[in-house]
Structures are given as structure tokens and as C-alpha cells.
Structure 1
Amino acid sequence: MLPERRGDLLILTATLLASAGWLFSKEAITALPPAGFVGWRFLLAALILLPFCQRRLRATSPANLLKTAAIGLVMTLNLIFWIQAVAHSEGIGEGAFIMSLAMLMVPPLTWLLFRERPGRPFWLALPIAVSGLFLLTSGNGLSLSLGQLLFLLASLSLALYFSLNSRFARRVDPMALTCVQLGVTGIMHLIYSALFEQWPAQVPGHVWGWFAASVLLATSLRFFCQSAGQKYSHVANAALIMMLEPVWTVLISLFWYQEPMPPQKVLGCVLILLALLSFRSRPLYEWYRNRRAMRMVR
């Protein structure tokens, strides 16, 4: 198998695991406190990654480690909104599409924080995304449900994390960066859980199974597949595959929770997906054109 094909398959596996992670999380918090679940999930995932990045962590300066941990606090905020949104939503498919809008929230945040004006693809995709979001969330009229509002806040905080992390990630090894940020997120959630949540006296055995799947499959194995896949898969191809995560999540929610998806919501999802594709259209077109040129040379 060609290395690029292997990379694409690994990225596809990562998106499937990420989608399954929505199901694992929602099932786990039926008995576990949400923040406590996220805390142990991410802390254990960080400990699993630690043996593979000890040398890289030692090679990172204390100043960069401190900045890495600070960005991990933004990830903590994002996960607080996200897990609360999952807890207050009947399904997960709608939330996955709302969360996917984080990609379109990055340009205006970057403009606000770093004075980098968004390019033309963003302005073309914006009205399509807004229309899709309106159709997706207008089931309650013009008001948003609590779950929808929390998903929007989670999407905004995720965009903020992307904006900050993309400017800093090049200074630190990716695995070391992820390990530190997962650890910070886990510790902060456990502190939050200790202050504001109460753990049940007994937790059913099957819930621990969902918890284990979240740690081992949806976090650790997913990160490994994504990191390994990005070494071989073209960045534009990887971005296109990763856009499929909300699609897989909707299919899982339809099968597992029988989440209602009337035509209006389906159209909203399609418009959001089209907005993301149009936003990435130029990089994808350039990749296709370069690939076609290489084939013609061969």
C-alpha cells in the first residue's frame, strides 16, 4: 500500500474514533459526573502518552512548557462547555455539526487577536454556514436550547484554542504538546469536579466499559492514528477526511439514540458541510491541480 493511502486510512480511522468518542462520552456520563469523567479521561490519556514523549518534554524549555500549559487552560474551558452540552442534549449529531463550525470561527478570532484579515473563502462560506446553523437550531423558534447554546460556546472556545495553538505549536514537539495539554485539562477538570460535583456511591460495570473505551480508543488510539496519518497524508486530503467526523456522529446518533433529523435539520447539516468545503476549496483545488500535474508528468 502506498504511504499516502496508508495515511488517509489512518486519518479516516481517527475520525471514526472521534465520532465514536461522542457516544462513549454520552453513555459514560449517565452515571459519572461530567467534569470528573473528562478529568480522568484526559489525565489517564496523558499518562499513557507520557512514556513516548519523556525525552521531548525534557528538551522543551520551561518557558515553552508554561505557555503550553496556559493554552491547555483554553482547552479546559472548551471541554467544560462541550461535556455539559453533551449532558444536556438528547442526541449528539446536531452538536457535532455545531462544533464543526469552529473551523469558520478561527479567521474572525485571528483577525481580532492578531490583526490578520480573513481571506475571500471565509466571506464566501460565512452566509452558507449561518444559513445552515439557523436551519439546524430553529426547531425551538428563534430561541436556542441550553444544549445548542453550550455547543456554540464550545465551538467558539475551540476556535480560540485553535487560534492560539496554531501560533505556538511549531515551537514544541506535537506529542509533548498534546501530553501537557491533556494533563492540564484533566487536572483542571478534576479540581472542578472535586469542588462542584458529587460522585455516586456505585457505578455500574458497563459504564466503566464506556469510560475505558473513551480513554483507550477515543483519546489515546485516536491521537496515535491522527499523528501517524498526518505524517503520510497530504494536509488538504487529511482536512477533507476529518470534515467527515460530524457525518459519522450523526449516523451513530441516528442508530443509537434515534435522534430526530427532520428535513430542515438535514438541510442545515448539508449547508454547514458545504460551507466547510467551500472554505477549504482553494487548498483542495491546489492540491488536486498539483496531484494531476504530477500524474501527467509520470
Structure 2
Amino acid sequence: MTERRAELSLVAVTLVAAAGWVFTKFALAGFTPYAFLSIRFAIAAAALALFCWPALRRLQRRQCLRSLTTGAVMGLALLIWIQAIDRTPYIGEGAFIVSLAVVAVPVLGRLLFGDKISIGLVIALVPALAGLAMLSLDQGFHLAPYQLYFLASMLAFALHLNLSSHYVRGIPSLPLATLQLLTVSIISAIAALATETWPREASATAWFWLLCAALIATSLRFALQTSALQHLKPSHASMIFLAEPVWTAVLGALLLGEVMSANQIAGCVLIFTSLLIFRGGTALRLWRR
């Protein structure tokens, strides 16, 4: 795969990931949140296992334990995220809040592991906080419950990325993802059994959207992403990933009829500006190319 094809593949990944937000919103019309997560990630894990079963069996016990542990953190993040999706009237706004994980990762890395913080991050925090403030204006200078859920899930995703960068290096990507997805499914099933009444007769339409979320937005997305990242620098790939919240906002407007207020749009623009500032060096190199 050439670098140009890898770039196009990663752009497709961001579009598929954005579509996953829409698939999830549609599927939740027929499933309770945790039941949906459990079924979705069980299907996705099974699909990935078909392609990496020999490598999965060769994993060492320590590698399995670390995969399951980081998967548990990802499961916690997704339990919070799915509650936000179930409550939000604006998935586009939620995608921009979750995208702040790019900025939160080095902050948590500093607190947990003593990682260095760049001046770009310090500058990027200003529009990021201003963006969150703009989003709160529609709620009378406080964040709505669904916005708080998105913010909490963003911090949990940032924690997962930090732990993954320190504890799962060297573990083959497909077996790692399979175990992490399986862990998410198990944790979600436990949460569903403890707090929900499982749907008995979900419609065929709801099952269709669930399968789209599992096979397209999860399994296919990861397969494309793994292949593309082998041919791109991480800094380059991170810039392309910034397209995901933009795609999500567009799909939310086109398919769900979402119309954000001027304050919400301004908040999302400020958050996106924060991400561009944080990745400014990479953005400049891409522009020169």
C-alpha cells in the first residue's frame, strides 16, 4: 500500500467511525444502551478472532492480562459514552467533546507517568476550555447532563490511551483488539444484567443498525485502520483522525436532522481550533506538502 492509498484509507476510517455514531443512535431505538454495547462488541470480537486466531493462541499470559486490563478501562469509557449517546440530541457536538481526548492524553500522561508537556498543549488548552464554555451557554452557564457524560467518557478514553501506550506495546494489534472488544462485551453484559431489562423483541431495523455498528463501524474500521497505520507516521495519522468529529456533525445534520445553535457551532469550532493548534507542527508540514 502506497502512502497516498494509506491516507485515503484512513480518511475512510474517519468516515466509517462517524457513521458508527449514527448507527448507534438508530440502534438504540430498539435496544437498551448496555445490551446494545454487549451484543455489538461480542459480534465485533468474534469477527476479528476469525482473522487472528493463531496469533491469539500464541499470546503470553502477561500479554492477555494486559489486553484484558486495558480493555476493562475502554469498557468503562464506553459505558459512559453510550449513556451520552442515548441522551444527546446532538451527536456532532458530542463527537467534538470526545475528540478533546487528543489534548487530554498528554495531560493525564503528565499526571500519571511524568510525561513532558509541550508549549503547544498549553496554548491549545485555551481554545479547548473556551469551546466547552461556549457549549455551556445554551444551558445557562452549565453543561447539560449528556455533555457531562461525553466529557467523562473523553477523560476515560484518554486514560485508556495512556495505559495502552505504556502497557500493551509489542502485543500484536488484532489479538489485542479482539481481547479488548471481548472485555467490553463482558463488562457491558454485566452492566445490562444489573441495571436493565433486556429487549425481548427488538425490531429487524434495530438489529440491522446493530450489525452495521458491529461489523462496519467496529470490525471493518479496525481492519482498515490497522492496515493504513502501518504505512503512515503517527503524527500524520493523528491529523487525519481530526476529520471524525467533522464527519459526525455532517452526518448528524443530514441523517438525524440535527441543527446546532450558534453557541454550539462556536464551541465546536473552538475545540477544533484547539486540536489544530496542538497538532500545529504536523498541520504545517502537511500544508507544505
Range into which the TM-score falls when normalised by the shorter chain: over 0.9
Tell me the residue number matched to 1:45: 44
Cα distance in 2, alignment partners of residues 55 and 287 from structure 1: 39
Tell me the residue number matched to 1:295: none
- CA-CA distance at 1:249 after TM superposition: 0.5
In our comparison, the structure showing a higher alpha carbon Rg is 1
CA contact (8 A) 1:236 1:284 kept: no
CA contact (8 A) 2:135 2:143 kept: no
Cα distance in 1, alignment partners of residues 179 and 80 from structure 2: 20
Paired letter, 2:257: Q
CA contact (8 A) 2:66 2:168 kept: no
Structure 2 residue 221 is the aligned partner of structure 1 residue 222: yes
Tell me the residue number matched to 2:116: 117
Tell me the residue number matched to 1:278: 277
Tell me the residue number matched to 1:105: 104
The count of aligned residue pairs is 289
Of the structure 1 ranges 133-142 and 152-161, higher mean CA displacement relative to structure 2 is found in: 133-142
Deviations 1:227-260 (A, max 9, x none): 1111223333321111010001001111122222
Cα distance in 1, alignment partners of residues 280 and 232 from structure 2: 18
CA contact (8 A) 1:5 1:233 kept: no
Structure 2 residue 244 is the aligned partner of structure 1 residue 245: yes
Tell me the residue number matched to 2:14: 15
Gaps in structure 2 of 5+ consecutive residues? none
CA RMSD in angstroms, aligned pairs only: 1.5
Paired letter, 2:212: A
- CA-CA distance at 1:284 after TM superposition: 4.0
Cα distance in 2, alignment partners of residues 102 and 204 from structure 1: 35
Cα distance in 2, alignment partners of residues 272 and 254 from structure 1: 19
Deviations 1:43-76 (A, max 9, x none): 1111111122222223321012101101111001
Secondary structure of 1:96's aligned partner: helix
- CA-CA distance at 1:287 after TM superposition: 6.4
Tell me the residue number matched to 1:189: 188
Cα distance in 1, alignment partners of residues 53 and 144 from structure 2: 44
Secondary structure of 1:232's aligned partner: coil
Cα distance in 2, alignment partners of residues 237 and 31 from structure 1: 39
- CA-CA distance at 1:3 after TM superposition: 0.6
TM-score w.r.t. the length of structure 2 is: 0.95
Paired letter, 2:105: V
Secondary structure of 2:169's aligned partner: helix
Paired letter, 1:4: E
1:159-198 alignment runs, 5 A limit: 159-198=158-197
Cα distance in 1, alignment partners of residues 186 and 145 from structure 2: 26
Of the structure 1 ranges 23-32 and 136-145, higher mean CA displacement relative to structure 2 is found in: 136-145
Structure 2 residue 8 is the aligned partner of structure 1 residue 4: no
Tell me the residue number matched to 1:296: none
Following TM superposition, the consecutive aligned residue runs of length 4 or more in structure 1 with deviations greater than 3 angstroms are 283-289
Cα distance in 1, alignment partners of residues 256 and 86 from structure 2: 14
- CA-CA distance at 1:174 after TM superposition: 1.1
Paired letter, 1:150: Y
Tell me the residue number matched to 2:69: 70
Tell me the residue number matched to 1:255: 254
Tell me the residue number matched to 1:54: 53
Percent identical pairs in the alignment equals 37
CA contact (8 A) 2:72 2:183 kept: yes
Cα distance in 2, alignment partners of residues 91 and 120 from structure 1: 32
TM-score w.r.t. the length of structure 1 is: 0.93
Tell me the residue number matched to 2:24: 25
